[in-house]
Amino acid sequence: MVDKIKKHGGVRAGAGRKKGSSVYGEPTKAVRIPESLLTTVTELLDYKKKQLEVDNTNFPNVYFPDFDGPVPSIPFYGASVAAGFPSPADDYIEKRLDLNELLINKPAATFFVRAEGESMLGAGIHPDDILVVDRSVHASVGKIVVCALDGELTVKRLRSKEGKLVLAPENPDYPDIPIKEEVEMVIWGVVTSVIHNV
């Protein structure tokens, strides 16, 4: 006598998670992530979830690049521009330049943030500049970092003074910020480029 085989599983109408019902408010897709990037990707997803929860009110000056939209390319001339006396320029385009390619090394780990204040003028960072921030770059001494101090974003240079780490401004009118144990500090990433109008 052959035992009846019980069938389990299979597709059931109406079962499963509905499209767009994830914590991100849109459909999700399973991907394989290199172990070295797992922390970075997880932090980015956590940040995106928090941003959706607070409706972008806590950090209104933080932006993520739109890699789904069309990527414009701009003519790039092979001739250099003389800052002294003018010289005849070549009349041909060497190639087309994609600013994403120029400014962003690791798209999944990159975000933009708008600078405020004048504490980093000496580093070429002016009010309203857009900072390109890479979370995959190691925040070592000497790097300019974006970090959250007790929930408020700041951009400073990470320095070591008298054996202790401090967040140092690039303007003598502003004091160093010592990194104390009682202060909650999270380094969001390292500034790799600055975009500002002239």
87 is catalytic: no
156 is catalytic: yes
What three-state secondary structure class fits 87?
coil
d(CA 136, CA 112): 14
User: Whole-angstrom distance between the N-terminal and C-terminal Cα of the chain?
Assistant: 87
The enclosing H or E element of 76 equals strand 73-77
Inter-residue contact 140 to 195 (CB < 8 Å): no
d(CA 126, CA 164): 27
d(CA 111, CA 44): 9
Catalytic residue among 50, 87, 156, 193: 156
Sign of the torsion formed by the C-alpha atoms of 134, 137, 143 and 145: positive
The enclosing H or E element of 189 equals strand 185-195
List of residues 6+ apart from 122 with CB closer than 8 A: 169, 170, 171
Catalytic residue among 95, 119, 164, 193: 119
Please list the alpha-helical segments (H only) found in the chain. 38-54, 99-103
Active site residues: 119, 156
